[in-house]
Amino acid sequence: MAKILLFSISALSFFCITFAFGPIPLQDLCVADPTSSTRLNGLPCKDPAAVKADDFFFSGLHIPGNTKNPYGAALTSMTVAQVPGLNTLGLSLARLDLAPNGFVPPHSHPRATEILTVLQGSLEVGFITSYPDFKHLSKVLNQGDAYVVPVGLLHYQRNVGKGNTVVLAAVNNQNAGINVVPKGIFGAKPAINSDYLARAFLLDKNIVEQLQAKF
């Protein structure tokens, strides 16, 4: 009996350690080498002897983005594409500018949790939990406020202030991915069958085809 109990505790300890494990870099640096022909899940590392301080540097988050577009929104990204030193570190950053009434359409990041921090203005951010609840959780943020959006969930942002809103967004992945609902559904190539979409969205087929034409 004692042997069985000891084995059970040991097995439980093993599984706890396994499930609690989080991937971390295996070396100090793995600066991305975009010129390499090697293909893997990520980007290959530059020769450490060729690494320089500028591989970890970015300038531009202080510059407002151009919001003169249908969304009234602009994103200034700081990812591994701009900062090769971010490679394997599981982190990306972005500045989001929203003009009055500007917004970001419903979307999701399949590979990352997001933290939004308002630097200026007022922002409504909300996300929807998955089936079967589809619970809508939203909050209006003001300067200095922050909000967390869990990985993979549909969410949105919109400027609810009278002036411009500036937000700093951080995700825990160097390539979070983004699925934009309107663009993905109505702008798919080749197009999704309009009869099917009309039935799925409880819309007239003509409206669906008009939406597809817009994208």
Annotated binding site: 107, 109, 114, 155
Binding residues for oxalate: 109, 114
Rounded distance between C-alpha atoms, residue 202 and residue 83, angstroms: 45
Residues with Cβ within 8 Å of 125's Cβ and at least 6 positions away in sequence, in order, are: 116, 138, 139, 141, 147, 149, 155, 156, 157
Rounded distance between C-alpha atoms, residue 7 and residue 147, angstroms: 44
Binding residues for Mn(2+): 107, 109, 114, 155
